[in-house]
């Protein structure tokens, strides 16, 4: 695996390939990231990953300075997974001057759910992804479905800017008990890690109720929120939405096939976890 730190060397390395497949990450890699690498290997003629902790998507009170940076370990994992090229730029390399040009996704999609609780988050995500796509110039880009809203926004960004890139989703990877894999799971204490599975269990309970014919969405959402709150969580949302635009479902949506997704974000101790489940 070739490790590259500059945009110039990256472009020189990749210019001979016709179909790079790209997996952008913030490092601290887990099996979910490595599953994306494995998926990418079947979609392109060179597999490229990036590791960059993007300051623009962290709010002032969030964990940018303490976010785990494990480059040496990550390099070993990527090499073992068959990654061909790792792009690991410094902040100065990717942002040589203040990034005053930014990508602002539409409010109706980006200011709800995650965007409501983390204002400006998707501006930071879209801006760095656009810049990384410009650097790598892939033909395929892979993103995990665990970040459901992010995946939807990035798909629409690529489409609206007419980028010659196919955006591919990677299925959410889970631990044996059902917890969605996340770099932030490493923040959980041992008791918290045992408790953390309750988030995915709550989503499964909501999904089962919907499949059984429940139509009082507000009551279902409140029951899920109360259940986690009673266990010591601080939930931001547990909600039922339409898949195609993440808006609350109408009566017809509740009976349509493959129309809904349940999404959750909640803090356990000091760690904020997210998850989702398509219905």
Cβ count within 10 A of residue 234:
12
Is residue 206 within 8 A of residue 213, CB to CB? The reply is: no
Helix (H, G, I), strand (E, B) or coil at 126: helix
Catalytic residue among 5, 15, 30, 33: 33
Which residues fall within 8 angstroms of residue 235, CB to CB, at 6 or more apart?
224, 225, 228, 229, 264, 265, 266, 267
Is residue 273 within 8 A of residue 256, CB to CB? The reply is: no
Q: Estimate the crossing angle of helix 121-136 against helix 148-160, to 10 degrees.
A: 50
Which residues fall within 8 angstroms of residue 228, CB to CB, at 6 or more apart?
198, 199, 202, 235, 238, 266
Helix (H, G, I), strand (E, B) or coil at 191: helix
Q: Reply yes or no on whether 30 is catalytic.
A: no
Catalytic residues, by residue number, are 33
């Amino acid at each position: 695996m070739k490790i590259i730190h500059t945009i110039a060397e990256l472009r020189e390395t990749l210019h001979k390939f016709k179909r790079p497949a790209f997996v952008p990450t913030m490092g601290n890699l887990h099996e979910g990231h490595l599953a994306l690498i494995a998926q990418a290997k079947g979609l392109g003629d060179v597999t490229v990953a990036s590791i960059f902790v993007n300051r623009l998507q962290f709010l002032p009170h969030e964990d940018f300075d303490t976010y785990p940076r494990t480059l040496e370990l990550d390099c070993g994992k990527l090499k073992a997974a068959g990654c061909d090229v790792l792009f690991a730029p410094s902040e100065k390399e990717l942002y040589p001057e203040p990034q005053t040009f930014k990508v602002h996704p539409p409010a109706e999609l980006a200011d709800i759910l995650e965007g409501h609780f983390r204002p400006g988050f998707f501006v930071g995500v879209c801006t760095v992804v656009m810049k990384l796509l410009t650097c790598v110039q892939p033909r395929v880009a892979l993103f995990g479905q665990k970040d459901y809203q992010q995946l939807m926004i990035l798909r629409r960004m690529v489409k609206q800017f007419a980028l010659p890139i196919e955006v591919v989703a990677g299925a959410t990877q889970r631990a044996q008990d059902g917890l969605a894999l996340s770099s932030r799971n490493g923040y959980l204490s041992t008791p918290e890690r045992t408790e953390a599975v309750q988030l995915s269990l709550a989503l499964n309970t909501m999904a089962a109720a919907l499949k059984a014919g429940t139509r009082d969405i507000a009551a279902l959402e409140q029951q899920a929120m109360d259940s986690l709150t009673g266990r010591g969580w601080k939930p931001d949302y547990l909600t039922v939405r339409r898949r195609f635009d993440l808006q609350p479902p109408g009566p017809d949506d509740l009976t349509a096939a493959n129309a809904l997704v349940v999404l959750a974000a909640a803090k356990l101790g000091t760690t904020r976890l997210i998850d989702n489940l398509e219905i």
